[in-house]
Structure 1
Amino acid sequence: MVTLSLEEAASELADLTRRVEAGETVVLTRAGWPIADLVPHRPRGGIDFEAGEAYLRENGIVRQPGFIAPDFDDPLPEDFLTRPHPGA
């Protein structure tokens, strides 16, 4: 790990980027205090939706849209908020 002031780093930026690409970490300081780390770029992880879809296709799994009850949009009974919960 290399520690450099911002002023030093500004004049050696090309060399520092090569070192970081090689896997080294560079700490940048201001007035002797660390303020930033230069580290190699690592792609972010996450969900690979394309791989998930490919897995489903390869295994013959057909996705179905979610079930919505036919009375989903019907108005609620007027006493819905005032009557006690059946499990209470």
Structure 2
Amino acid sequence: MTTIALEKAASSLAELAARVEGGETIVLTRDGKPVLDLVPHRRTPGLDIEAGEAFLRARGITRSSGFIADDFDDPLPEDFLIQPLSGS
């Protein structure tokens, strides 16, 4: 890990970027105190649906989601909230 003063880093940003691309971590300082780290970019992995389904299948779970009715998002009747519950 290399430490460089912020003032010096401003004039050699391209060189520092090349070093960071090579895997090096560089600490930039102001008045001798660490201000920020230059580190290689890491891609965050997305959601792997296939791996999740394989995980569930290995444990005997064949359906990864419940049933959603075709009319799930249809508007409710106007008097829905004032109707008594069935079986009450």
Q: TM-score, normalised by structure 2?
A: 0.58
Count of residue correspondences: 68
Task: Look up the SS of the partner of 2:9 in the other structure.
Answer: helix
Report the CA distance between 1:62 and its aligned residue. Answer: 6.8
Q: Which runs of 5+ in 2 are unaligned?
A: 70-79
Equivalences for residues 9-88 of structure 1 within 5 A:
9-49=9-49, 52=50, 65-66=66-67, 75-76=84-85
Tell me, in whole angstroms, the C-alpha distance in 2 between the residues paired with 1:23 and 1:7. 22
Deviation string for 1:9-28 (max 9, x for gaps)?
A: 00110000000000000000
Task: Look up the SS of the partner of 1:44 in the other structure.
Answer: coil
Report the CA distance between 1:76 and its aligned residue. Answer: 4.5
Tell me, in whole angstroms, the C-alpha distance in 1 between the residues paired with 2:26 and 2:43. 19
Report the CA distance between 1:47 and its aligned residue. Answer: 1.3
Mark the CA change 1:15 to 1:64 in structure 2 (over 3 Å): closer, same or farther. closer
Report the aligned-residue RMSD: 3.3
Report the CA distance between 1:30 and its aligned residue. Answer: 0.8
Q: Which runs of 4+ in 1 moved over 4 A?
A: 61-65, 73-77
Q: Which runs of 5+ in 1 are unaligned?
A: 80-88
The alignment-based identity, stated in percent, is: 47
Task: Look up the SS of the partner of 1:34 in the other structure.
Answer: strand
Report the CA distance between 1:35 and its aligned residue. Answer: 1.0
Mark the CA change 1:67 to 1:32 in structure 2 (over 3 Å): closer, same or farther. same
